[in-house]
Amino acid sequence: MEQNFPGGKILRLKVGDITREPADAIVNAANSALAGGGGVDGAIHRAGGPSIMRELDQIRGKSGGCPTGSAVVTAAGLLPARFVFHAVGPVYRGGKHGEPELLASCYRTCLQLAEEQGIATIAFPSISTGIYGYPIREAARIALAEVTRHLNAQAGMLQQVTFVLFSEPDYRVYASCLEREPA
């Protein structure tokens, strides 16, 4: 599924493997310790090689990690991307502990980093909907709202945002949300 925006900008949804996505940057659903993990995080580290973790070790040495709702940038190692944005989404605890704002902040931070790095294409997973337990429909609405707002409002370099979703059911949820709340 694809949606067009002013200035030729595009939002795409697809099922696939984010580690194979030919984007300028891919987003990693990281943990606050930036220590690697399972799911998207584990896949990115396996496919990207050890250089990504070495950069994260340096970042951790300086800052101690990355706060929830924020992100840090590394090179992409062996991945087809140039950069990996390691975004720390919230663990879902019922939605009453600031989770919606923290999740929205992840997307806003990555979109801002994309503009700062001067990139044209970025690929996102569905942040926080795996082991962190965020209900996918709520997470999809937040993610799509932030990306739509950015593509409608910004005159920056970013031209294409792709959500690379893990499964067909996840894709259907995102597509349903995008159809209900178009740009």
Q: Are 123 and 18 in contact (CB under 8 A)?
A: yes
Mean pLDDT, to the nearest integer, of 90-101? Answer: 96
Active site residues: 41
Name the pTM for this structure.
0.95
Coil, strand or helix at 48: helix
Which residues, in sequence order, are bridge partners of residue 71?
Answer: 87
| Comparison of pLDDT for 155 and 58, the residue scoring more | 58
- Name the DSSP class of 27: E
Residue 183: per-residue pLDDT? 55
Kindly provide the b/e burial profile for residues 41-58, where b requires at least 16 CB atoms within 10 angstroms of the residue's own CB.
bebbbebbeeebbebbee
Residue 156: per-residue pLDDT? 84
CATH topology of domain 2-180: Leucine Aminopeptidase, subunit E; domain 1 (3.40.220)
18-to-5, 13, 84, 99, 131 alpha-carbon distances in Å = 23, 12, 11, 24, 17
Residue 154: per-residue pLDDT? 64
